Structure 1
Amino acid sequence: MLTKGMRSQYIPTTGTRSFLKWRKPYIQQTVYTLWSYPDLLPAFSTWPPVLQRLAGGADLMLPGVMVPSCGLPQVQQGTLCAITLVGNRAPVAVGVATMSTAEMLAAGMKGKGFTVLHSYTDHLWGFGDKSYPPTIAPLVAEPAELESTDDDDKDEEGREPDSDLSIAPSLQMGIGNLSLQEGDGCAKLMEEEKPGETGSAEMAEDIAEVQPETEDGRTLQERMDELLHQCFFHALKCKVKKSELPLLTSTFLRNHMFSCCPEGQQLDIKKSSYKKLSKFLQYMQQQKIVQVKELNKGVESIVHIDWKHADIKSFVVPEAFSAVSTAPESQCGDGEQLYHAPEIIPLYGVSAKMAPLFQESGHKKGSILSSSDVRNIVISYVKTNELVDETNKNFVKVNPILCDCLLDKWEQDEISKLKWDDLLSRCLEQLQPYHQVTFFGHEPIVRKGNLDPIDITIAQRSSNKKVTIIKNLELYGLDPQLVANTLQQRVQASATINTLPGAKDRVQVQIQGNQINHLAKLLLDEYQLHRKYIQGLEKAPKLSRKK
């Protein structure tokens, strides 16, 4: 296992070339190994949005660590630890504790908690099979179980609870022979542990059978079954899109079903009668609602969904979600979300400088007008004050108010007349820009300033590789995750979503290669967006002509 002194010698920090210099088998503590042995290291949980920052090279700060009711694992400074996401015991990163557990609590859970050495989606992960984290249900200890541990002095997996998560010598010997290429060794060790896992499952089933009834007369297992079905059908009806298929079952649970769980409730499949997600999906496959296949060894994916199934059609979205589920999009029969391009109208606000010109029409500073309103008000003002030139009606005489509002200081002594077009264009330039966006099924939204276009740029990465970066999709009601998934399937290239620098609530899509031609077809032809709202299409690569 890595110690503090070994990190600087064996942990890579500058790209993939340093991986080749490793001469000792200290790479066993990768996320791949920890997915097979989730309890190998002390585990600390964080929230899913933090994973993007960890994958980008950030360390884990203590405010991002979730403190469970049973307390944090007891570790010392320099201890190698696993980092998991809330609701899933599958580690997504490996780090070194910068302080002991007691020091973390004494600091009020503030400051840097872990120096991250390796995370899911980094270069080390790329040396493996690039699989996604599995879904490993959390070990939630009930009060009765906590009391029994005091008597038996062991947890349900047979480990000493006060052993500070130490590793048995036999397990250490087995881990020493593992590597990223030795999948057979992992499978063999996992098969040896199956009897213990079966015993734990049987114990959980026995406990479930004697669960007390809740206030509504149902057991906890019955209520969890109902919540599981609700989240499943809600996800199929409102979250999953046809373009996402095939969809990893673990991703379906993590990204779709968990988000459909009502506030104040927690979905825990282990507390249901199904115990495992695979068993639940197998039942739904028997009902011909979904079709699940093992596309990769040991990894199951949902490959087909029957959105016309009576159970999906008859499902009613809970009231708490109904406003969100039907928000900017309508849904067709096969579950594919239909995108409606927003209606965008430029507006203009009356500034202090332009207020005298609009005063006669009853508009004060801050009034918001459309371009047609501005045109009509200016024409009315010109006619009311008899400013049309008698010799040439294409010109308007400049009076003191027009002079102060529209002319620069150096122009005031030289210009006495303006053409109608020049007069109107100068008025629009002097007004404050606003815009109104109307999404399908929503009330119009008025914002100050001009609407930023969808920005497409090409960036250069290591080894002279190019990536396409797309920003501002949310401003047009587009789901960045859907756009990334669609492009990834069409061009067969890796696509990721990262936080937009300088914007906490915005993200950007990044996909390998110059994919502007495919992106233009998606945005212009399929989403029906106007070209003037897309910036960067001119950077598309020229298509080679076939001879």
Structure 2
Amino acid sequence: MFKKKPTIKPLSPLRSSDRRKLADQIIADFDLAPPGADNSDSAEKKAEATAARTSLRSSLLPDNVQSARFTTTHGPELKQISGTIYVGSQDGADSRILWWQIDGRMYPSIYTLWNHPGIVPLLHTPEIVVKKLRGGADLMTPGLARGPPFPKKARKGTVVGVASLERPSVPVSVGVCEIDVSALEQVQGAKGHAMETLHWAGDEPWSYSTGARPGQEAPEEIVGWQRAIDGDDIGMEGLNIDDEDDDEGGGVPLEHSAATVNGAPSKAGIPAEENAQGEDLDEPELSQKEIDDAFRNAFLYGIHQQKTSHPHEANHGLIYPLTQSSVVSSLINPFLPAHTQRQSQQLQIKKTSWKNIKKFLKALDKEKLIKTKEKDGNETTITDIDFNDPSLASFKPYRLPKKDTGSSAQPEQAAATSSGGDDAIGQKIEIRTLLKPTRELQPLFASAPQPYYTTAEIGSAVTAYVNAESLVSATNKRLITLNPTLANAVFDGSGSLDKEVLAKGSVPRDALIDRVSKAMTSSYTIVRNGVEAKAKSGKPPKVQITLETRSGNKTVTKVSGLETYFVNPRLLADELRKTCAGATSVEALAGAAKKTEKVVEEVMVQGPQKDAVLKALEKRGVRSAWVEVNDKVKKKGGR
């Protein structure tokens, strides 16, 4: 629904009476009445029920909630619809869209789901499907996981949330069931839509903020949602999706999801026997202690590698606080001893005794190997590491799995080789502007027909045309006499110059060439090391460098649009991690690519690293003129 940015009118406060009515509507629609709400046997119980309902109202719609009308488009026909958004905050947090209403029906935002576990039925699907949902795709029935049975309330027309198998307690999408999901007895081989996607983490409502702040990142875990699903065996029964777009290859994700047949890893819809690729399917299961030791040793290896790679730098190149995601991507995943697909299947954080990364870090804190701090109640960050701990001093590196350089989505090894393997370094890049004649202008280029023309070629073609048509003025060779083709195709009479030219019946040669150029369709091509890429319409996109504040006053630098200039985001991130001595990450840029296009990735590095990024891009032939810097930190400070 929100693929395109909606038009939102100015916010206005919501009257207390309207807020109560709206909150009561939400309570009724989502069956959220607190216990004892209908029990009026005594004045005391009635008072308790009233207090509970008042508290629930304030939780769903805070006192500071504001509303505004909005318009957007929906469906394949881009039908225009309008509704109302409700924006508010609690506990001093940023004001965000909490609900939106269309045709009298209320829908919760991602932020509301994060703060109100259990408010809607929660469906699950693999991360590869979540990526598609974040582009606005609907959830298909074969993509449903963790069932049957599915949540009993997930009936046709019901509002539901969707979470990935990798982070099952964190909803990332909101939609409406198109079928009775709770009644499904199997999904394998099924067809059709299960849920119509309306809103997701990464779309425009998620990004909306009255304080011009970027959208909040999803937490690693939400305890309230986790309680509802603890004890469930998260599987992928019935999954039948095409995995040719799966960019999850390589590495060992903390929550790696793979279809299984009789316990053996398998590609979706392919029997395990045909998918073994020579691996030993009888490989024994790792014990709980072996899995725990693998994760602990991987963390020690990551710290050891950081210490030996940056012996003379402060904190050995680490910038505190370290977020859970950066610890996973830089200090754990690259060092897990997963040499086979089956080992990758078993080495998952949910299969450790800690169950999640937050508890894992807390355990290391108790050992006094690290110091941690709670952030926003949802995430644990590392604030210090004891590099002189005896366990680090006695640690001995072990053999790591070979890095699959052919997979663009593999997590970068912290022990990666130098940037000498990056073929973008030293490349020669040139951008050529090309112009394509419209149908009306085709007669001017009949002498030398071709799909695209440079500015110089346009001048030559126009000169050849006026000479062939004998349109050069006999008294002034700088003037070109208009003929019907020029008059109709070039000068349409919309501007003051057009009227003057048409009145005189002639135009200067330079003005004619300039006007023909402006009337043509603009395209561009990028020439790399003398090889010209396929021409594309429009202007060449710029590399985007964005500086913004996250988690209070911590600045991060984001870089996207690298693929246009043949720069590998993951190799760039590897270099920036070393040169900036800070954690980096690479993630798919939500909504940046169409379904038929390759995933566009965004590099994030800790700290204000604009200069370092520009220098790294310059080494790769990307000029500063092709880069656009958006300093949101500076704008926020009013400097």
Under TM normalisation by the shorter chain, which class is it? 0.3 to 0.5
> Which has the larger share of helix?
1
TM-score (norm 2): 0.42
